[in-house]
Amino acid sequence: MQTYLNSLDSKLIFIKSEITKDVFKIYCELKHDKNKKVHSRKVRVIKDIPYNNLKVVLHILTKKHFNEDPSSNKLTTSETLEFVNGTGRRTKRLDEYIINLCKEMSAIGCERIIKNKIADVSDSSILRLIKKNESKCNKL
Per residue in 66-124, pLDDT (tens digit) is: 887 778 788 887 777 888 887 788 898 888 888 888 877 777 788 888 888 888 887 78
Using the Cα atoms of residue 84, residue 120, residue 2 and residue 39 in order, give the sign of their dihedral: positive
The pTM of the whole model exceeds 0.75: yes
In terms of domains, do 35 and 49 share one? Answer: yes
**Alpha-carbon span 5 to 10, nearest angstrom:** 7
**Alpha-carbon span 116 to 55, nearest angstrom:** 9
Cα-flanking dihedrals φ and ψ of residue 74, to 5°?
-80, 140
**Using one digit for the tens of pLDDT, what is the confidence trace for 29-60?**
888 777 778 888 889 899 998 888 889 999 99
45, 68, 84 - which closes a domain: 84
pLDDT band of residue 137 (cuts 50, 70, 90) is low
Strand partners, 28: 14, 60
In terms of domains, do 70 and 2 share one? Answer: yes
64, 84, 104 - which closes a domain: 84
In terms of domains, do 13 and 80 share one? Answer: yes
CB 44 within 8 A of CB 62: yes
Q: Tell me how many domains the chain contains.
A: 2
In terms of domains, do 14 and 59 share one? Answer: yes
Question: How crowded is residue 23: how many other Cβ atoms within 10 Å of its Cβ?
Answer: 14
43 is in which domain, residue-wise?
1-84
